[in-house]
Structure 1
Amino acid sequence: MKNNKIFFLIFILAVSLYAANSGDSEGLTNLNQAGASAKTTAVKAFQNWKWIFAFIPLGVAGGAAFTMNHYIEKKEEQNGGQSEPKASKYFKIVISSIIAIVVCFIIYGTFGSTFGGMGYWQTWDTLVIQTFKEFMGVTNGQ
């Protein structure tokens, strides 16, 4: 293991000496351009795959509804039958879905305010609402 660290250290030292001794510093210029290119690629990839963030709240809400339904059915089995009205059961399932979407809103807003300098509603609009507007073909003027 120690030999690997020494080899890595020698490799880094050799690369840096080569870059420093090259007369036209072509190596460092290419390295800088490669970094800028990688940054641009990462930003474009996030912009192109941003639509996934619009469907995460729906998936979380569906999972919460499924889990709540499973919990209620399991509770009914343990009690020997239905112990509450169906309307109450459906209300709990809908409320669990709404709470899951609110939790996603809070998580998105926290990330948006921490890393993007945006507010909660602005982050939600950027990640979710604008994506669904694009899917439905709605423009800002309509």
Structure 2
Amino acid sequence: HDLFREQALRVIAGDIDPAAALTFFYETIENDPARWLAVANDFAAFSPDWVTAVGSKGGRAARFNCWLAPELWNEQSAWFLTSAPLVVAVLRILSGETRERGVMTAEKAFEPLSFFDEVVALLPEPPPDGKLIGESFEWLE
């Protein structure tokens, strides 16, 4: 964004302090929202929950992306995406599926894909394809 970039360069150059730059940024946007908050017709929304991993697979450079299904990018879904995973986790713990104790990653406690399937099953309006996440993989060479 040009306005943000301009203010960042002014801060780096020592022409303005960060608080003043931020104030200028917000005031400029508030004074002309039609200009600064307009969305282009070809704008593609993206998930606020997006993960990219870059590394190697089989000795080749690769990139993997995953994101929350677009149908879940709303406030109502946010409530269910907090409560539904908790319900699934508690039920798995109570059933004895997870016996380990202590602090661990989610992947160590639960197999992720079946966990996601159970979460989707609890959502009042699951995504049409029944998947909680979208994903892509690409070779970088």
Q: Do both proteins adopt the same fold according to a TM-score greater than 0.5, normalized to the shorter chain?
A: no
Structure possessing the higher radius of gyration over alpha carbons: 1
Which structure shows the bigger proportion of residues in helix conformation? Answer: 1
Which structure shows the bigger proportion of residues in strand conformation? Answer: 2
TM-score (norm 2): 0.26
